[in-house]
Structure 1
Amino acid sequence: MKPSLVLKMGQQLTMTPQLQQAIRLLQLSTLDLQQEIQEALDSNPMLEQQEAGDDYDNSDLPGDQSGQGSSEAAPEGSYSDLYESPSSTAGNDQEEGDWHERIPNELPVDTAWEDIYQTSASNLPSNDDDDWDFTARTSTGESLQSHLLWQLNLAPMSDTDRLIAITLIDSINSDGYLEGALEEVLQSLDPELGIELDEVEMVLRRIQQFEPAGVAARDLSESLQLQLRQMPADTPWLSEAQRLARDYLDLLGNHDFSQLMRRMKLKEEELRPVIELIQSLNPRPGSQIEASEAEYIVPDVIVRKHNGRWLVELNQEAIPRLRINPQYAGFVRRADASADNTFMRNQLQEARWFIKSLQSRNETLMKVATQIVEHQRGFLDYGEEAMKPLVLHDIAEAVGMHESTISRVTTQKYMHTPRGIYELKYFFSSHVSTAEGGECSSTAIRAIIKKLVAAENPKKPLSDSKIAGLLEEQGIQVARRTVAKYRESLGIAPSSERKRLM
């Protein structure tokens, strides 16, 4: 086949650098966005944070910056309250005053943002930065192993026993239990040391006296016995609880209370405080030592009721107010191709696009949050049982955006309501048909199941089939396996495990 040149015309979707940056900022959480803004402030001299009491005109920012939030179920205040720009009188002459008119609004679509500008995230802090706290950014919570090793260093012990203790501590999992048999621990030690199994057992008992109580146990029964052993001797029903944890823990796990009373020769009113003492113990003692960092949630949107109407507004305290520095912006000169002027022009363009992307993010977030509140007024007024079915397509159609955009907006974004703080994705749920031909949200069904279980007779808990029957009486047609799925998602045990002595 002879090669030839063929000219074709076609269309394809491309992303400009501005759109790439806007999408990246859109999917950031509030805490990540705060860090991104701080890095932009540190790296771009054209950007600065507005101080309280400063007042500048918005006329120099691209696009419409004067849009106000609507009232009912809509934002209060303007987006210009968050992001400000200097007036066009910042320069001393016409050549410096119209800097905003000479910067192009678009870049070629076949370029990436990183090809034009170095991302602020790549700017690592220097060692002489007094505001950069190395400990706050690199430290992690204390692990269970480090907590046990700290106690080991305070315990008088021979070098051989210390080696055995370190090996045992390495074999303890995050729940506080010893993984593997002592014989396996013994095999991992150097045979030339001549260590016997009795020595390993003795060191294990030393470690079991460490905090938290119940650590280094080989099973649940041993862990409960260790915790009971550290209680005061005058604790009521202590001996009976130790006997139950040692000999009859399987009966308690199966909720076979009649057999348990027969074996322990206790009456029901006597067995009840014994079980309560057992239930006061921690089945996962290692969980008391958390190795993970605390996660903080900053709400992006605040919903409140005023004069009988639900109002939606951005959390203005979460994001600092930005503006373009008028002094540096006035240094940008026309028809000057020097390296310094080119650098300032690029920085100015990046600052303008950054502010515009932030405004676009907040406008989109506000539109989506407003529509969510419009759909879920029943939840705000009456609780989870009044939650309506809602999917991404419903919000996307209401605001005129793509579902992928709605998914980015609702991920890691939180709404503060009088009922608590919820992720925006919480308000989306599938639906189940009702007997009257309507729809019921899966979130509302979970709330009803939780309410039914809370009001059940502890001696005769409701089975999944019985719950499905009660829901059908309310006009909600749900299969038994669906009830089981919702029950498990709520962390509710099966009926056989919910049986209690009352």
Structure 2
Amino acid sequence: MQKLSLSQSLSQKLSPQQIQFIKLLQVPTAELDTRVEEELEINPALEEGREEEAAPEREEFEEGEVSSTEDLNVEDYLGDDDFSGYKMQGDGNYNDEEDREMPVAMQASLNDQLEAQLGFLGLDERQENIAKQLIGSIETDGYIRRELDAIVNDLAFAQNIETDIEELEELLSQIQQFDPPGIAARSLQECLLIQMERKSDDLEEDEVIQTAIRILSLCFDEFTKKHYDKILKKLNLDDEGLLKEAVSAITKLNPKPGGISGGLVKTQYLIPDFLLSNTDGEFDLTLNSRNAPELRVSQSYSEMFSAYDKSDKKDKKLKETVSFVKQKLDAAKWFIDAIKQRQNTLLRTMESIIKFQYDFFQDGDESKLRPMILKDIANEINMDISTVSRVANSKSIQTDFGIFPLKYFFSEGISTTSGEDVSSREVKNVLAELIDGEDKKKPLSDDKLEKFLKAKGYNIARRTVAKYREQLNIPVARLRKEL
């Protein structure tokens, strides 16, 4: 028999307006223009331009709605795909008076560049179609990972072209001679060999190049693991200097000849969200002017609503019109409010970060960064950690000594033997210095690095040393070994 029971629970849901604010908050300055333009397109009650007179006061939020994000956890409402990430390329220079359009440099796609080189092979129409299928199978980093027998089937089903692996191999070998060097390889080993063999065409008698080719052909596994003693033995080499030069030549090759763009190459310049100047110790923090678009509620829509609202309410079509106009007016007011709230939240967050990291912002000395976590700032400005996180993860500030992403200023704390807390960033710098100064013939293990750090006063575990080393993109000791 089923039993019925009652249970009480408290839950807090975000209103559509709050979700709109959070989404706007996480949009970087470089993308805010696009978001505003989208809203202008879909809402005729929203216009560009400064308000000549105060807009009608919006009604208070109904019960359950709040205009701030305090004590709200929005992680369950928004996914990582709600906004595109920061594009950190370019020189980062920005002038407030620049055009609103982003400067973008365009080039031909990789496929276009490769197909343009097909004309030099003198292929017939059938061969050219096969070659284009091969080029179309090249991935963004320049490799072909699709099996040739699968490409044979692709040609049969899609283009009704009968071929075999031998013919594909022959055409592929010709494509592999195209620029950029190493293109259309099926493995890293083949990619490096293609590039090195091209060098040997010009320097056929060069002993270093020939040794490098032998290493890639016969000792690739040993090379990737830096087992140089095994390479010397396997190739019957007595000259360590020759081996060192050959390894150096290999490491200068390009492991990703296709780059990472794949499509049209775009260079998008970083536009800082905040501008900070320091005059005799006095900070002047301003929002980038692009964060303050001039928007207003359409006067004609307001007058239209007022006229409709005073008319006969019994007409069904008129009721629908009044409802539509009111919806658009409310949406326009909410969007303008969300933009203003975004500006306020950004400034409050950045002002708190500057206050916390005051010594750093005086001269840009990284050693003066204090340990700081999201909770420190959230507590200071009385906002939810998730709100601070969205600001920190997608914003940057221009200072007198460079542009920094806000997440640069956040780091864990590590205790020292003197009882002080230092930034994990400081520990990482010391770790990097230790590795830079090590004997590359006998690189330091994580255990030895731990002992050196403790000798310098940092209480740190070996697993933390390994974590920081990986975050610095530094390989393990065995892979740092040099001849």
TM-score, length-normalised on structure 1?
A: 0.70
Of residues 361, 383, 405, the one that matches 1:423 is: 405
Change (3 A) 1:287 1:15: closer
Given that 1:368 and 1:399 are in contact with CA atoms closer than 8 Å, whether structure 2 keeps it comes out as yes
Distance 2:284 2:331 in 1: 34
Distance 2:295 2:402 in 1: 29
Change (3 A) 1:227 1:415: same
Cα deviation 1:59-108 (Å, max 9, x = unaligned): xxxxxxxxxxxxxxxxxxxxxxxxx53236xxxxxxxxxx726x534457
In structure 2, the residue matched to 1:29 is 28
Give the alignment of 1:186-225 within 5 angstroms. 195=163, 197-225=165-193
Deviation at 1:299, TM superposition (A): 1.8
- The amino acid of 2:387's aligned partner reads T
Distance 2:418 2:151 in 1: 65
Change (3 A) 1:175 1:16: closer
In structure 2, the residue matched to 1:388 is 370
In structure 2, the residue matched to 1:79 is none
Deviation at 1:487, TM superposition (A): 1.0
> What are the ranges of 5 or more consecutive residues in structure 1 without an aligned counterpart?
51-83, 89-98, 111-135
In structure 1, the residue matched to 2:96 is none
Deviates more, 1:304-313 or 1:284-293: 284-293
Given that 1:207 and 1:216 are in contact with CA atoms closer than 8 Å, whether structure 2 keeps it comes out as yes
Give the alignment of 1:143-292 within 5 angstroms. 144-145=110-111, 147-152=113-118, 155-162=121-128, 164-169=130-135, 171-179=137-145, 182=148, 195=163, 197-231=165-199, 233-234=202-203, 237-258=208-229, 260=231, 263=235, 265=237, 267-287=239-259, 290-291=262-263
Distance 2:367 2:340 in 1: 35
In structure 1, the residue matched to 2:59 is 104
Distance 2:9 2:218 in 1: 78
In structure 1, the residue matched to 2:335 is 354
Cα deviation 1:223-267 (Å, max 9, x = unaligned): 223212333614864334333333344443333445545636463
How many residues are matched?
426
- The amino acid of 2:415's aligned partner reads S
Given that 1:384 and 1:447 are in contact with CA atoms closer than 8 Å, whether structure 2 keeps it comes out as no
Distance 1:240 1:308 in 2: 59
Deviation at 1:373, TM superposition (A): 1.6
Deviation at 1:363, TM superposition (A): 1.0
Distance 1:307 1:174 in 2: 50
In structure 2, the residue matched to 1:491 is 473
> What are the ranges of 5 or more consecutive residues in structure 2 without an aligned counterpart?
66-101, 312-317
Deviation at 1:109, TM superposition (A): 5.7
- The amino acid of 1:280's aligned partner reads K
In structure 2, the residue matched to 1:132 is none
In structure 1, the residue matched to 2:295 is 322
Larger of the two Rg values belongs to structure: 1
Given that 1:459 and 1:499 are in contact with CA atoms closer than 8 Å, whether structure 2 keeps it comes out as yes
Distance 1:220 1:411 in 2: 34
TM-score, length-normalised on structure 2?
A: 0.73
Given that 2:291 and 2:343 are in contact with CA atoms closer than 8 Å, whether structure 1 keeps it comes out as no
Distance 1:147 1:335 in 2: 61
Deviation at 1:16, TM superposition (A): 5.0
**RMSD over aligned Cα, in angstroms?**
4.1
SS at 1:229 equivalent: helix
Change (3 A) 1:300 1:288: closer
Distance 2:171 2:14 in 1: 64
Change (3 A) 1:341 1:212: same
- The amino acid of 2:271's aligned partner reads V
In structure 2, the residue matched to 1:131 is none
In structure 2, the residue matched to 1:128 is none
In structure 2, the residue matched to 1:114 is none
Change (3 A) 1:163 1:40: closer
Distance 1:374 1:248 in 2: 56
Deviation at 1:369, TM superposition (A): 0.9
Distance 2:468 2:255 in 1: 25
